[in-house]
Structure 1
Amino acid sequence: MTEDEARAEPPQISLIALFLKFLRFGALAFGGPVAQIAMIRETLVEQERWIDRARFNRLLAILQVLPGPEAHELCVHFGMMARGRLGGLLAGLGFMLPGFALMLVAAWLYMTLIAGNPGFSGVLLGVQIAVLAIILRAVIRIGEHAIEDRLLALIALAALVATLAGVPFWIALVAAGLTYAFSQRPLLIAVFLIAAIAAAFGNAAMTLPPACGLPIDGAPVTLGALFVAGLKGGLLTFGGAYTAIPYVRADTVGRGWISDSTFLDGIALAGLLPAPLVIFATFVGYVIGGLSGGLAITAGMFLPAFAFSMILFERMEAVVENPRAHRILAGVAAAVIGIIAATFLQLVRTTAERVSDPLVATAVFAAALVAVWRVKGVWVTPAIVAGGCIAGWLLTP
């Protein structure tokens, strides 16, 4: 154990102080999982030294394998490190409550003021462009620490290309971990890569059309069905929150409970709030079933994130402390950077399709990027988001 590892440990903290600390994280969690993880890392790893950098990277790699939003699971894990399972529960609740409350308010405002009003489309677009700059800076910040040599850089690049090509994230993660662990045995690496390519082609051959076809008009809305819709999304959220979208859509849009356009508006709003992107489920549940619907689908979505982290805590800690697993996890962590970078590019492409004036959009993005790169402070991210909102409003025809 190095001197840095020996000195890194959670501080003595009360349950109330722990809850308030993660409530603050939740209130400032703009920019999606990349920016959220970077914020948590900066505070708890770099400044307060709860754990050392290498262990954080390995922990992040493990959480990427589990279903659920990684930033939320990270908070639960840190809370358990400090005050056991009750601490994990309070840390997770603290992190999710601001976004949950704001999404309920946003859904209510949407239903009463925004739905059907084209004047707000430019505002949402301006904020999305600003948030892209926040995500790009966070990708680079995390990558600087996770990618320590050329092989890890190549692994990250390969994961980026594979993700853009539609290869399932689990294939990239397994191949990356094994490749880095057995980097001194090229024949084994060749076998791993051939198996990964075969798995990717096999998955593509077995891929079925989207489950959500024509709406099933008249299907009854129940709180149990909304809970199950959220639970499916929470259990199948591997490799990023966007993988939850088709499952929630199939159980809501597919039953005729909500239109595709309103569903997509909920995803757009989720990207603006300080919360994991899966908070879009709260919007969907509220629009369909009011407050009780929002509570039911949110409970289902976040239940796996709490359960996996709290039940598997000791085993996760054992893996993090096992030196034999370090190279596998280092390779997985590099692949995670590539997957996140690919998600950023996909978001850029999706946002660009809505842009009518590329020069103005580029200027907004550049201004936000300069601000997030050069300005320090707790309120920088909210200020950039507000700037994007103002820019979108001013530039709306």
Structure 2
Amino acid sequence: MLQIFLRFFSLGLVSFGGPAAHIGYFRQTFVQELNWLDDKHYGSLVALSQFMPGPGSSQVGFAIGYHRGGLLGGIAAFLGFTLPSFILLFLLAVTSSQWLDYSFTQGIIHGLKLLAVVVVADAIWIMFKQFCQRKQAKLLMMFSCVIILLQPSMLMQFGLLIAAALVGRHYLSSAAGSEVDASAPPLSQPVKLNFFWLSLFAGLLIASLVAISLSSQSSITNLTQLFSQFYQVGSMVFGGGHVVLPLLQQSVGDSISHDQFLTGYALAQAVPGPMFALAAFLGAEIWIEQPLIGALVATLAIFLPGFLLMLVALKSWNAISAKPQVTGAIAGVNACVVGFLLAALYTPIFTSAVLSPIDMALVVLGFGIFKTFKPNIFFLVAGFGVTGALIGAFVS
């Protein structure tokens, strides 16, 4: 267990670049260097993470830890990989009152907000090319984006996800099924799910929906509501990474200001580890009476659904992935979340970050550099932070 924890902790200290980069780091370390599993097995875990809601790269890490050391191994992997970003974002949250009002730090944060525009735009472009190749998927993407721009709400997003799954099941199953690994077992192989974990996932989801409904009349957030908000988001985010942004913004929008939310998101760009660790910053900001408790509850709640679903399907993934209707439904959901992310790119990201022609010029320049030269995300963070600080100092 200690070995698993330390291996993932060392990766959590240096894993900049988002889910795609994390998956590359995992393959280099656990397949090529340590030989904990082979490429075929690793590829199947990556594919499973794409078909489950939750933080994609963290789910892969959890599955590797589970493969190596069972349930405790999965927990050790999660703790190791998430702890560095959790600590950094928690400390940034609890000390924000000491440094947030300085023009220098405001300039840095503004620069990081501009970087968020670049990174999310790139994520949308990549996901569009990956998930919206067919006409039906493109239509789903456009429809979901338009609806969320006009009627932004958690209930609307949930309804669109269900509708997209139904549409994908009927119209995208052939395309999705063609991507299934040829080594997958025949469709006749029985699917044996772990119903204990499935029942726990479903029970917590129903309880969270009830808790949010009962507390909707109150403007005060308690720990049960805090857990419910983040658990609900973790249960509906497909693709992980930046896709969490629109759902989180809708879920906690009444508990935290837009500026606080985008500050946390911008800071999450600047630290290594999973994007879902943003929950540590938000939880500490929302539960200011005991920020550490708030950060722990929010972080546990947003990661828990994805891990429970991984435990449900880990032993039966090959049989599940061989069913075209299942993969078709997921293809529809993936197209839908691209639309969600496109709507989030406009609001709150673009509208809160791009405030002048200089800002827009920096976004265009940064996007061009990002796509042309593909620099390490650390250099982009440093570049946008320094540029934002200089502009802030000059303007002030």
Pick from 112, 118, 129 the counterpart of residue 127 of structure 1. 112
- Bigger CA drift: 383-392 or 330-339? 330-339
What is the alpha-carbon distance in structure 1 between the residues aligned to residue 127 and residue 146 of structure 2?
Answer: 23
What is the alpha-carbon distance in structure 2 between the residues aligned to residue 43 and residue 62 of structure 1?
Answer: 19
CA RMSD of aligned residues (A): 4.0
Does residue 370 of structure 1 match 2:369? yes
Deviations along 1:57-104, whole A, 9 cap, x unmatched?
7424421xx3x3333223222332444323322222222212211111
Pick from 84, 87, 91 the counterpart of residue 77 of structure 2. 91
Does residue 62 of structure 1 match 2:51? yes
1:381–1:338 CA distance, 2 compared to 1 (3 A): farther
Deviations along 1:221-256, whole A, 9 cap, x unmatched?
765554445444444546742324433445xx2xxx
**DSSP 3-state at the match of 1:301:** helix
Aligned residues: 332
- Deviation, 1:387, is 0.9
1:175–1:17 CA distance, 2 compared to 1 (3 A): farther
- TM value normalised by structure 2: 0.67
**DSSP 3-state at the match of 1:300:** helix
- Deviation, 1:127, is 1.4
What is the alpha-carbon distance in structure 2 between the residues aligned to residue 326 and residue 20 of structure 1?
Answer: 39
1:285–1:55 CA distance, 2 compared to 1 (3 A): closer
| 2:360 alignment counterpart | 361
Deviations along 1:179-200, whole A, 9 cap, x unmatched?
13257xxxxxxxxxxxxxxxxx
- TM value normalised by structure 1: 0.67
Does residue 159 of structure 1 match 2:140? yes
Identical counterparts, % of pairs: 21
What is the alpha-carbon distance in structure 2 between the residues aligned to residue 62 and residue 261 of structure 1?
Answer: 32
What is the alpha-carbon distance in structure 2 between the residues aligned to residue 41 and residue 341 of structure 1?
Answer: 26
**DSSP 3-state at the match of 2:51:** helix
| 1:315 alignment counterpart | 316
What is the alpha-carbon distance in structure 2 between the residues aligned to residue 140 and residue 264 of structure 1?
Answer: 21
Maintained 8 Å contact 1:281/1:301:
yes
1:125–1:260 CA distance, 2 compared to 1 (3 A): closer
Pick from 179, 198, 201 the counterpart of residue 171 of structure 2. 179
- Deviation, 1:347, is 1.8
**DSSP 3-state at the match of 2:355:** coil
Q: Write out aligned runs for 1:76-155 (5 A).
A: 76-114=62-100, 116-117=101-102, 120-138=105-123, 146=130, 152-155=133-136
Look up the equivalent residue of 2:97 and give its one-letter code. M
Pick from 383, 386, 390 the counterpart of residue 382 of structure 2. 386
1:94–1:215 CA distance, 2 compared to 1 (3 A): same
Alignment gaps of 5+ in structure 1: 1-14, 184-209
- Deviation, 1:384, is 0.9
Does residue 246 of structure 1 match 2:250? yes
What is the alpha-carbon distance in structure 1 between the residues aligned to residue 138 and residue 252 of structure 2?
Answer: 30
Look up the equivalent residue of 1:180 and give its one-letter code. L
What is the alpha-carbon distance in structure 1 between the residues aligned to residue 262 and residue 213 of structure 2?
Answer: 17
1:213–1:161 CA distance, 2 compared to 1 (3 A): farther
Query: Which structure 1 residue ranges, 4+ long, deviate > 6 Å from structure 2?
Result: 210-215
**DSSP 3-state at the match of 1:165:** helix
**DSSP 3-state at the match of 2:362:** helix
Alignment gaps of 5+ in structure 2: 33-37, 148-156, 176-211
Look up the equivalent residue of 2:23 and give its one-letter code. I
What is the alpha-carbon distance in structure 2 between the residues aligned to residue 214 and residue 223 of structure 1?
Answer: 14
Look up the equivalent residue of 2:140 and give its one-letter code. A
| 1:266 alignment counterpart | 264
- Bigger CA drift: 103-112 or 238-247? 238-247
1:179–1:271 CA distance, 2 compared to 1 (3 A): same
Pick from 341, 347, 350 the counterpart of residue 348 of structure 2. 350
| 1:37 alignment counterpart | 20
- Deviation, 1:161, is 0.7
1:142–1:78 CA distance, 2 compared to 1 (3 A): farther
Look up the equivalent residue of 1:291 and give its one-letter code. L
- Deviation, 1:291, is 2.0
1:222–1:174 CA distance, 2 compared to 1 (3 A): closer
Maintained 8 Å contact 2:165/2:328:
no
